[in-house]
Amino acid sequence: MRAGTPGILIAAFLFTVLALIAAVPMAYPAGTFVSLDGTTGVMDHGWSAGQFIYALGDMFCHQQTERSFMVNGSQTAFCARDIGLIAGCASGLLLTYGHAGKRPFTERKTMYAGSILISVMAAEWAAGAVLGYDWDILRFAAGIIGGAGIAMVIQNIASEPWKGEGES
């Protein structure tokens, strides 16, 4: 197995989640999913094939309407920041695939760079909490940046067994 294979598998899963986030609201009549409760861990949806992505959103996201995108008149299963995080992580895993297992990618610098990108997302969250702004596009962009940082950390850890692959 190549060093980047775990990252590709995770990216494939995340791109599938993104596709479902966009497709499920389109598969139901307009306005089917509105006013989700905004509380993480409160299950409002079942595990049926059509509502599976909303059940995941119930488990992992606050789903506050004012912080979510609307698709076909329905609120998305995840908030703007989480969608950005998923997109950034999936894209980052693809972009780092060719470097997985090779130096200097497996060194501490990559972990530091990933941590800095994750910190940008955390700083945006803190600024939003203090200043009270409500900009979904900024949350989405910060999620992409944080997701790219998470991808760097994942790829670094997942490629550890193949450290030094491709050097010569």
Cis peptide before 104 (omega within 30 of 0): yes
What is residue 92's predicted lDDT score, i.e. its pLDDT? 92
24-30: which pairs have CB atoms within 8 A and are 24 or more residues apart? 24/50, 24/51, 24/53, 24/54, 24/77, 25/71, 25/72, 25/73, 25/74, 25/75, 25/76, 26/71, 26/72, 28/72, 28/74, 30/72, 30/73, 30/74
Q: What is the pLDDT of residue 1?
A: 61
pLDDT at 168: 40
CA 111 to CA 134: how far, in whole Å? 31
Question: Per residue, what are the HEC states of the chain?
Answer: CCCCHHHHHHHHHHHHHHHHHHHHHHHCCCCCCCCCCCCCCCCCCCCCCCCHHHHHHHHHCCCCHHHEEEECCEEEEEEHHHHHHHHHHHHHHHHCHHHCCCCCCCCHHHHHHHHHHHHHHHHHHHHHHHHCCCCHHHHHHHHHHHHHHHHHHHHHHHCHHHCCCCCC
Q: Where are the domains of the chain?
A: 5-160
Task: Determine the pLDDT at residue 23.
Answer: 94
pLDDT of residue 163: 61
- pLDDT value at residue 165: 54
Q: Across the 168 residues of the chain, what is the mean pLDDT of every consecutive 10-residue run?
A: 80 95 93 81 79 88 89 93 96 84 69 93 93 90 96 84 55
Q: What is the pLDDT of residue 103?
A: 63
pTM value is 0.86
